[in-house]
């Protein structure tokens, strides 16, 4: 009988403790799990020495770093490379076409064969003359090479480019009387345009056909229009068909790649200084 009484007493005490713990939890508004007991930070007898928080355990979030400026630059370069690679042919073709200017050619007072590439330009100028579109051809005089004065002192004649060009066009059927020249040396397209303007004013010439290489026509057109803007002269550009320059494939030749790069450099220089 005694063991039964002891067992009943232990069960009663245990039940009483559970009821006391439940009442205390409800009074404090404690939302902890059943079996947990907090008493101002002290563990209750028989409780473990740690507390379990009533919230899910989540991994700590890593702070995201913003991309550096260097990474943005690399990204932009990569996108630009993709665009240029995809649109390379259309872009390069446009660059080539922009340099080429060609006007409808009508009868004029003077054909101007610009210096620089005498063979391809001289052939085109001779064709225009034989078609009867003008009665005279202007040929400029380039600066003499270093050492030419020593040749003169020794009685040696070194042919100038002007002389060679005239000789070539005479062989193509242009009479010597059709040529107009100047003793002034010309330097660059702007120098030629100024010399021709003085000749045109003296002779009363009002229309010009400018013959040059295809890649040079844009700068030549802008230069002559600028120099003759007060004279109201008609300026017509004719690119030589004897040039192998093609706007659709100029980048395939090292010669024309160099030519286009230099021409754009000169265009920028002329735009800043003259236009």
Condensed to tens digits (0 to 9), the pLDDT of residues 249-259 reads: 999 999 999 99
| Residues contacting residue 99 through CB under 8 Å, at least 6 positions apart | 214, 215, 216, 217, 218, 219, 247, 260, 263, 264
Q: Is 150 exposed, middle or buried (0-12, 13-18, 19+ CB in 10 A)?
A: exposed
Pick from 136, 142, 83, 74: nearest CA to 114: 142
Within 13 Å and on the Cβ side, how many CA atoms surround 40? 0
What confidence tens digit (pLDDT) does each residue in 162-220 have? Answer: 999 999 999 999 999 999 998 888 888 999 999 999 999 999 999 999 999 999 999 99
Give 185's strand partners.
141
pLDDT digits (tens, 9 = 90+) for 136-176: 999 998 888 889 889 989 999 888 899 999 999 999 999 99
Whether 111 and 130 have beta carbons less than 8 Å apart is answered as no
Domains observed in the chain? 100-243 (3.40.50.620)
Q: Name the strand (E) or helix (H) holding 58.
A: none
What token pair was written down for 23?
A: 């009442």
Predicted model pTM = 0.68
Q: What is the pLDDT of residues 31-52, one digit of tens each?
A: 444 444 444 445 445 454 445 5
- C-alpha 133: how far from chain center: 40
Give residue 187's pLDDT: 85
As separate numbers, helices (DSSP H) first and strands (DSSP E) second, the chain gives: 9, 7
The alpha-carbon radius of gyration of the chain (Å, integer) is 46
> CA-based angle 32:38:42, to the nearest 5?
155
């Amino acid at each position: 009988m005694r063991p039964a009484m002891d067992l009943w007493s232990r069960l009663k005490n245990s039940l009483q403790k559970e009821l006391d713990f439940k009442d205390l939890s409800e009074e404090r508004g404690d939302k902890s799990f059943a079996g947990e007991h907090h008493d101002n930070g002290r563990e209750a007898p028989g409780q473990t020495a740690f507390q379990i928080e009533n919230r899910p355990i989540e991994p700590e979030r890593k702070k995201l770093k913003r991309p550096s400026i260097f990474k943005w630059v690399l990204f932009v370069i990569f996108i630009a490379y993709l665009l240029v690679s995809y649109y390379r042919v259309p872009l390069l073709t446009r660059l080539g076409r922009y340099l080429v200017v060609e006007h409808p050619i009508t009868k004029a007072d003077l054909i101007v064969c610009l210096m620089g590439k005498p063979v391809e330009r001289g052939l085109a100028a001779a064709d225009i003359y034989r078609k009867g579109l003008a009665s005279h051809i202007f040929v400029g005089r380039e600066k003499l090479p270093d050492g030419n004065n020593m040749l003169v002192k020794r009685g040696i004649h070194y042919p100038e480019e002007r002389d060679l060009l005239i000789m070539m066009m005479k062989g193509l059927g242009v009479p010597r009387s059709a040529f107009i020249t100047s003793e002034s040396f010309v330097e660059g397209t702007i120098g030629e345009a100024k010399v021709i303007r003085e000749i045109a004013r003296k002779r009363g010439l009002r229309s010009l056909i400018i013959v040059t290489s295809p890649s040079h026509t844009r700068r030549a057109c802008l230069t002559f229009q600028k120099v003759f803007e007060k004279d109201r002269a008609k300026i017509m550009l004719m690119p030589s068909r004897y040039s192998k320059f093609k706007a659709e494939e100029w980048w395939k030749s090292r010669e024309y790649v160099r030519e286009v790069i230099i021409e754009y450099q000169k265009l920028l220089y002329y735009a800043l200084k003259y236009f």
